[in-house]
Amino acid sequence: MLITDDFLPVPVPESLSATYLVPMTGLPKVSAKTAVAALTGRLAEPVHGLARQMLDSPLMSVDTRPISEFPELPPDLLTAFGATEEQLARLAAATHLVVVQAEYRPGWPPAHEWAARAVAAAVAESHDGDVVDVFGLQFLDPATALRSLPDEQGRIRLVDWVLVPYSSDTEGLWFTTKGLRRFGLLELQTQGVPDHLTRAWGAVMTGAARRLLRDWTDGLTGEEVPAFVQLPVLATVTGHDIAVAYGNPEQHGATAPVLLRLELDPATDPEADSFLSLRPPAGHPGPDGRYYAAACATLFSGIQPDVRYARSGDAMSQAVATARAALGDARARFVAGQLPAESQLVVKYGLPGDDGPEYVWAGVTSWEVPERIVGVSASDANTDQSVRIGAPVVVEATDVVDWAVLDATGVIQGGWTQAVLDSGEPPTP
């Protein structure tokens, strides 16, 4: 095996397995084969044919057992991963579990996961039931489970298969992925992420998972399963990776790429999991958190500081007026928690400079009173050395000249002044 400083050898498991449960009251009245046959024309190929083939092979088993034979599924964890009260109530009333299990070699396609989820969804749909993904400890209604399977072009949304939970410690936030082991790859982790990057870094982790999963499956294309796959030590993540992972390839996020260093963090406890850690590239100055903030600013903002004047009556002046007129509504939605899921509110404000004001962006973290905004800087300022990416800032609302709502694909609302800078044309309110 060739080992270099540019690649990291990651061990490959000999086989992979998937397990899905379908809780029900009483015994099933429809067989798994009949349920899968009912999906003809609704489930894209090759998944539909794959599910039928695996049902007829020793690679898959479908068993119905009394629920009393199984350890209780932890309701607190199920709730943490999105279970509703109705789903938990149906689980508590269930007398039996249909257990769908499949096994397959590492590589692409992940036949064990696709076929097992398809069969479980078919059984659940035929009995008006739920699917429990044992790996992710998630409830899936049948329609959601079926939508997560590949379309006619073989495309999936990685966010339907890989979660990114996080927790807080004394050094910041600890992010991990939960789902890469479905494909044989070690889970990713990042430690010491600044608190204000909760949404943004989760999207970065998802994009990094997409990029590394592609490299991983490229290394598993041979007839024999290798003992190791060589992954690049420096992983490149782009806005396109994030957009594709969220199922929006047309919003390709034409941003500069960022580099993340891959490190193997083996578990010291035989019962614990090993991780692949994402870190700043070697030699990066300053704390890791500053690099993570800079990476998020590069990948998501699409909005840069500028030092251009807005002359009265020109397109920039109109953009500022439009943004200020809508600022109160933006605050109301932010305070009420009514902004789109997985989005962030940012504001643009002016810093005084010898050659005129420099306009920089900040992510809003708190806006308790209308006059004052608390946030963190999304860029380094040229005129004020204390304004650095990730540094806390307090912005007077009267200084705000623009605002925007961002998600993993970029600006989804606002950004009027940036539209003028990018196109030279007046923006549409």
Give per-residue pLDDT as tens, 296-309. Answer: 888 875 554 444 43
Q: In the prediction, which pLDDT does 52 show?
A: 95
Number of domains in the chain: 3
For the segment 338-366, the average pLDDT, to the nearest whole number, is 83
Kindly list the distances between the CA atom of residue 144 and the CA atoms of 85, 148, 395, in Å, as whole numbers in the listed order. Answer: 18, 6, 42
Instruction: Tell me, letter by letter, the H, E, C secondary structure of the chain.
Output: CCCCCCEEEEECCCCEEEEEEEEECCCCCCCHHHHHHCCCCCCCCCHHHHHHHHHCCCCEEEEEEEHHHCCCCCHHHHHHCCCCHHHHHHHHHCCEEEEEEEEECCCCCCHHHHHHHHHHHHHHHHCCCCEEECCCCEEECHHHHHHCCCCCCCCCCHHHCCECCEEEECCEEEEECECHHHHCCCEEEEEEECHHHHHHHHHHHHHHHHHHHHHHHHCCCCCCCCCEEEEECEEEECHHHHHHHCCCCCCCCCCCCEEEEEEEECCCCCCCCCEEEEECCCCCCCCHHHHHHHHHHHHHHCCCCECCCCCCCCHHHHHHHHHHHCHHHHHHHHHCCCCCCCCEEEEEEEECCCCCCEEEEEEEEEEEECCEEEEEECCCCCCCCCCCCCCEEEEEHHHEEEEEEEECCEEEEECHHHHHHHHCCCCCC
Per-residue pLDDT, 171: 82
> Given this model, what pLDDT does residue 272 score?
78
Q: Are residues 98 and 76 in the same domain?
A: yes
**Domain for residue 307, yes or no?**
no
Q: What is the pLDDT of residues 83-105, one digit of tens each?
A: 999 999 999 999 999 999 999 99
Q: Are residues 185 and 221 in the same domain?
A: yes
- The whole-number pLDDT of residue 102 equals 98
370 and 343 housed in the same domain: yes
Give a yes or no: residue 57 inside a domain.
yes
Query: Does residue 145 share a domain with residue 117?
Result: yes
Answer whether residue 428 is part of any domain.
no
In sequence order, the 6+-apart residues with CB closer than 8 A to the CB of 282 are 261
Question: Do 293 and 365 lie in a common domain?
Answer: no
Instruction: Mark which of 156, 183, 217 sits at the end of a domain.
Output: 156
Of all residues in the chain, the percent with pLDDT exceeding 70 is 90
User: What's the rounded Cα separation, in Å, for the pair 54 and 117?
Assistant: 12
- Whether residues 119 and 249 fall in one domain: no
> Does 390 reside within a domain?
yes
Residue 165 sits in the same domain as residue 283: yes
Same domain (yes/no): 175, 261: yes
Average pLDDT estimate for 183-198:
92
**Percentage of residues in the chain having pLDDT higher than 90:** 52
- Domain final position from 300, 331, 347: 300
Whether 327 and 410 map to the same domain: the answer is yes
Question: Which candidate, 340, 351, 354, places its Cα nearest to that of 408?
Answer: 340
Residue 408 — very low, low, confident or very high, per pLDDT cuts 50/70/90? low
Q: What is the mean pLDDT of residues 150-173?
A: 89
Q: Is 283 a residue whose pLDDT tops 70?
A: yes
Q: Which of 275-289, 317-331, 395-409 has the lowest mean pLDDT?
A: 395-409
Range of the domain at 414: 314-423
Report yes or no on whether pTM surpasses 0.75. no
Does residue 176 belong to any structural domain of this protein? Answer: yes
Tell whether 190 and 100 lie within a shared domain: no
Mean pLDDT of 115-119: 97
Q: Is the pLDDT of residue 319 over 90?
A: no
Residue 1 resides in a domain: no
- 145, 266: one domain: no
The reported pLDDT for the residue numbered 255 is 63
Q: What is the mean pLDDT of residues 118-143?
A: 95
pLDDT-derived band at 203 (thresholds 50, 70, 90) equals confident
Note whether residue 116 is domain-resident: yes
The pLDDT confidence band at residue 210, using thresholds 50, 70 and 90, is very high
191 domain residue, yes or no: yes
Residue that finishes a domain, picked among 156, 177, 199:
156
Question: 130 with 193, same domain?
Answer: no
pLDDT over 70 (residue 356): no
